[in-house]
């Protein structure tokens, strides 16, 4: 089961959903904090609901306030980056570029992508953590003492 | 906002524990920086804004200096982009305070903008870290700060030792010369 879990994780990296930062977080996990990564990711989901809603509301305004949109997305990009959400981060970056160009259509289009990538990642990570719990305590990544 | 306890393997050799004040409006980032600091054997107080940080540091005039001394902060790590007061504005306020200006301040930002970095360093920031912050960044910072703290503590001892050394060195010269 451990091997399946490792394969699951590897494919998340191979398919580009996660980056190095996720590994950095895993290295912060130990016996005293065995669920650290899942805790951080859970906080991320909670935060993301709020941030995505903010962006949605801002995109409904007419005319669009690009500075505000950029600011909201900066926050969302930041927390996505902090958990290693690579594809989400890429879409966030694209969104911010459209903000800076004052391209409302581009923003709206890209935002759909942002939400799509976020939903996909969330689903995959939920499956991963659920499987991890079933697989039992795992040998944690070695952290230099 | 409570000061948390240290992590598992930090009890070695009675090494001094730094107290770090972490400032970040992101819930996710606060959790991560807190963990990074605890693993690096630092006491952490994490707050979500510049104004809360100033409150904690007693710069809003409400806390007595006696209270402040007990919770001495050795390092402040602050995010740059925060609503209300930015990390840069917080930096300026800290460096503008005669009581607090000696505390090293580190700015963290996801945006690697040279002009921003320069501005922060010019204003007195110790360092500018690009997010996401890594464990190696924190450990390096901690070692740097600890060396600074040690230096302060041993300054008096060093001065005394230098005097002793000079004395014995002088004696040494008198013994060596005859052998030549």
pLDDT score of B7: 44
Q: Could you tell me which chain A residue has the CA closest to the CA of B6? A: A32
- B131 to chain A, any CB pair closer than 8 A? The answer is yes
Contacts of B14 (CB under 8 A, 6+ apart): none
Phi/psi region, residue B7 (left: phi>0; alpha: psi -120 to 50; beta: rest), is beta
Q: What is the pLDDT of residue B163?
A: 53
* Total Cβ atoms within 10 A of residue B49: 18
Sign, CA torsion A117/A119/A125/A127: negative
Phi, psi of B44 (to 5 degrees): -125, 135
Place of tokens 């800076």: A100
Q: Using CA coordinates, name the residue in chain A closest to B39.
A: A28
For residue B131, pLDDT over 60 is answered with yes
Run means of pLDDT, 10 residues per run, chain A, 145 residues = 91 97 96 95 97 97 96 96 98 97 97 98 96 74 48
The four Cα atoms A28, A31, A32, A35 give a dihedral, to 10 degrees, of 60
pLDDT of A123 reads 97
Calculate what percentage of chain A has a pLDDT beyond 90.
88
Q: DSSP strand E in B85-172: where?
A: 105-109, 127-130
For residue A88, report the phi and psi dihedrals to the nearest 5 degrees. Answer: -60, -45
B82: three-class secondary structure by DSSP: coil
Structure confidence at residue B151 (pLDDT): 73
Q: Write the DSSP symbol of residue B125.
A: -
Answer whether B121's CB lies under 8 Å from B104's CB. Answer: no
- Of residues B166 and B111, more confidence is placed in B111
Q: Which two tokens stand for residue B17?
A: 């524990």
Nearest C-alpha of chain A: how many angstroms from B90? 19
Do β-strands B75-79 and B18-23 pair in parallel, antiparallel, or remain unpaired? parallel
Q: Residue B70 pLDDT > 80, yes or no? A: no
Which of B8, B25, B39 is facing A28, going by the closest CB pair?
B39
Could you give the C-alpha distances from A83 to B31, B62, B108, in angstroms and in order?
A: 11, 37, 16
Inter-chain contact A21–B132, Cβ cutoff 8 Å?
yes
Cβ pair B90, B50 in contact under 8 A: yes
pLDDT tens for B16-59 read: 789 999 999 999 999 999 999 999 999 999 999 999 999 999 98
Q: What is the pLDDT of residue B4?
A: 45
Q: Provide the pLDDT for residue A145.
A: 46
pLDDT of residue B15: 62
Cross-chain Cβ contact B29/A82 below 8 Å? yes
> In chain A, how long is the greatest CA-to-CA distance?
54
Report the 10 Å Cβ neighbour count for A84. 25
- pLDDT for position A56: 97
Q: How far is A138 from chain B (nearest CA, A)?
A: 19
Amino acid A143: pLDDT: 46
Angle between helix A66-83 and helix A36-60 axes, rounded to 10 deg: 170
Q: Which residues of B touch A81 (CB under 8 A)?
A: 110, 131-132
CA distance B167 to B161: 10
């Amino acid at each position: 089961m451990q091997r399946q879990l490792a394969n699951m994780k590897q494919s998340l990296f191979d398919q580009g959903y996660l980056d190095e930062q996720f590994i950095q977080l895993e290295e912060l996990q130990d016996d005293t904090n065995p669920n650290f990564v899942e805790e951080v990711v859970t906080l991320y989901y909670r935060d993301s609901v709020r941030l995505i809603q903010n962006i949605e509301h801002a995109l409904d305004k007419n005319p669009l306030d690009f500075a505000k949109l950029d600011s909201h997305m900066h926050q969302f990009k930041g927390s996505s980056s902090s958990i290693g959400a690579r594809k989400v981060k890429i879409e966030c970056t694209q969104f911010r570029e459209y903000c800076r160009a004052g391209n409302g259509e581009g923003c709206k289009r890209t935002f759909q992508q942002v939400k799509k990538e976020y939903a996909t990642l969330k689903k995959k990570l939920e499956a991963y953590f659920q499987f991890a719990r079933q697989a039992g305590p795992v040998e944690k990544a070695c952290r230099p003492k | 906002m409570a000061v948390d306890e240290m992590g598992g393997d930090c009890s070695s050799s009675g090494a001094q524990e730094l107290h770090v004040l972490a400032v970040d409006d992101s819930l996710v980032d606060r959790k991560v920086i807190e963990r990074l600091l605890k693993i690096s054997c630092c006491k952490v107080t994490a707050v979500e804004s510049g104004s809360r940080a100033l409150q904690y540091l007693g710069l809003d005039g409400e806390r007595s200096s006696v209270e402040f001394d007990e919770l001495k902060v050795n390092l402040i790590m602050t995010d740059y982009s925060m609503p209300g007061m930015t990390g840069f504005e917080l930096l300026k306020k800290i460096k503008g305070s005669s009581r607090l200006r000696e505390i090293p301040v580190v700015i963290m930002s996801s945006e690697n903008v040279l002009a921003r970095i320069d501005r922060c360093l010019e204003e007195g920031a110790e360092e500018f870290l690009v997010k996401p912050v890594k464990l190696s960044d924190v450990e390096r910072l901690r070692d740097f700060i600890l060396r600074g703290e040690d230096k302060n503590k041993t300054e008096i001892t060093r001065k005394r030792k230098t005097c002793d050394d000079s004395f014995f060195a002088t004696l040494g010269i008198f013994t060596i010369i005859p052998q030549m």
